[in-house]
Amino acid sequence: MKASKLVVGLIGGIATIMASSAVYAENFPKNYGYMTDVKGDVVKNSYGQCWRTGYWTEAMAIAECDSSLAQKVESKPAPVAAAVAAPAAAPAPAPKPVEKAKTVIVEKPVRLEGASFATGSSKLLPGASSKLDEVVNAANQSQDIKLNVMGYTDSKGNAQSNLRLSQGRADAVKAYLVKKGVAADRISSKGFGSANPIADNATAEGRSANRRVEVQYAIKEEQKVQ
């Protein structure tokens, strides 16, 4: 009877040690595959063998207890990290567009204000020469351009009289250009009376602006385009 009680006591003591070691193993993760005491040291039997936990695996082997297994675990190659793709190269900059010369038609209007004519008259005043000479130079440089001369008046006076006056002013400008060497067949002239006002006929300034002759022509120019 006494012997059986002694065996039971020894077994109970061992179980207690194992249970307490399992609890303490959580605090000493470096030896978590083995029973440890309160100091974290591995518990060994009288033969110097380490007590393994119930969940021990070869991966938990330490050199102190299982040197051969520990070396085997340490010798396993480390997992190779997945290769990180190199960042894509930035796209090459787009080539600069090549500029080419292109011929375009450019309108060149010239306007002679009312001050270029005597009041109620189609006679050109000397001040009109500077602007008309610009037209002559353009016509000489571009022999293929056509000149369109349009005469206008303000709204005062009789409509028929204004129409005749505007035609006379347009013809006066044409005569000046022909005298300067521009071929007559390159010039058209027409009077429009008080039509197409560009200012208010209720004011003296507006009426003066509306008494005008406009010369329109288009020339070809070389321009660089992409």
| pLDDT confidence tier of residue 187, bands split at 50, 70 and 90 | very high
CATH number at residue 132: 3.30.1330.60
Total tally of structural domains belonging to the chain: 2
Residue 151 lies in a domain: yes
Residue 85 lies in a domain: no
Task: Express each pLDDT in 4-32 by its tens digit.
Answer: 554 444 445 444 545 444 444 445 556 66
Residues 108 and 68 occupy one common structural domain: no
Residues 67 and 164 occupy one common structural domain: no
Residue 147 lies in a domain: yes
Choice between 176 and 66, residue whose per-residue pLDDT is larger: 176
Contacting residues for 133 by C-beta, under 8 A, at least 6 apart? 180
Choice between 226 and 118, residue whose per-residue pLDDT is larger: 118
Nearest-5° Cα angle at 183, 178 to 188:
80
Confirm whether pTM is higher than 0.85. no
Residues 117 and 193 occupy one common structural domain: yes
Mean pLDDT within 175-198: 95
Residues 65 and 117 occupy one common structural domain: no
Cβ burial of 36 (10 Å; 0-12, 13-18, 19+) is buried
Mean pLDDT within 112-131: 78
Choice between 119 and 177, residue whose per-residue pLDDT is larger: 177
Mean pLDDT of the chain: 76
Of 12, 38, 73, at which residue does a domain stop? Answer: 73
Most confident of the following: 118-132, 139-153, 167-181: 167-181
Task: Express each pLDDT in 70-117 by its tens digit.
Answer: 676 566 665 665 666 667 777 778 777 766 666 565 666 666 555 577
Q: Which domain holds residue 126?
A: 100-225
The whole-angstrom separation of Cα 122 and Cα 93 is 64
Residue 88 lies in a domain: no
Choice between 207 and 85, residue whose per-residue pLDDT is larger: 207
Residues 61 and 151 occupy one common structural domain: no
What percentage of the chain reaches a pLDDT higher than 90?
Answer: 26
Residues 125 and 200 occupy one common structural domain: yes
Residue 94 lies in a domain: no
Residue 153 lies in a domain: yes
Residues 126 and 68 occupy one common structural domain: no
Mean pLDDT within 53-58: 76
Residues 130 and 220 occupy one common structural domain: yes
Residue 166 lies in a domain: yes
Mean pLDDT within 42-64: 77
Residues 182 and 221 occupy one common structural domain: yes
Residues 39 and 126 occupy one common structural domain: no
Residue 78 lies in a domain: no
